[in-house]
A = this chain, B = another copy of it.
Amino acid sequence: MLDQADTTTSVVDLMQDIGVRARAAARQLALAPTATKNAALEAMADAILGAQPAILAANAADLEQANAAQMAPALIDRLTLDAGRIAAMAEGLRVVAALPDPVGARIDAWTRPNGIEIERVRTPLGVIGVIYESRPNVTADAGALCLKSGNAVILRGGSDSSRSSAAIHAALVAGLVKSGLPEDAIQIVPSTDRAAVGEMLKGLGGNLDVIVPRGGRSLVARVQDEARVPVFAHLEGLCHVYVDRAADLAMAVDLVVNSKMRRTGICGAAETLLVDRKVAATHLLPILEALRFAGCEIRATEEVRERYPTAEPASAADFDTEYLDAIISVALVDGVEGAIAHIEAHSSHHTEAIVTEDIRVADAFFAGIDSAILLHNASTQFADGGEFGMGAEIGIATGKMHARGPVGVEQLTSFNYRVRGSGQMRP
Contacts and interface: CB of A to CB of B under 8 A. Distances in A.
A425 B255 contact: yes
Contact of A401 (B210, B344, B372, B426): B210
B389 A110 contact: yes
Interface in A354-392: 362, 366-368, 370-379, 381-382, 387-389
A379 B418 contact: no
Contacts of A420: 362, 375-378
Q: Which of A118, A378, A402, A414 has the most CB of B within 10 A?
A: A378
Contacts of A416: 370-374, 404-405
Contacts of A110: 389
Contacts of A258: 425-426
Contacts of A209: 400-401
Contacts of A382: 116, 419, 421, 424, 426
A201 B424 CA distance: 40
Interface residues of A, number: 57
A271 B416 CA distance: 21
Contacts of A305: none
Contacts of A405: 416-417
A314 interface: no
A384 to B, nearest CB: 8
Given A381-B425, A400-B414, 12 more contacts: A30-B367, A116-B378, A118-B389, A123-B400, A373-B416, A373-B417, A375-B419, A376-B420, A377-B422, A377-B423, A382-B419, A401-B401
19 contacts: A112-B389, A123-B370, A123-B400, A209-B400, A248-B423, A255-B425, A370-B416, A372-B417, A373-B419, A374-B417, A375-B421, A376-B418, A377-B420, A378-B423, A378-B424, A382-B419, A382-B421, A387-B426, A404-B415
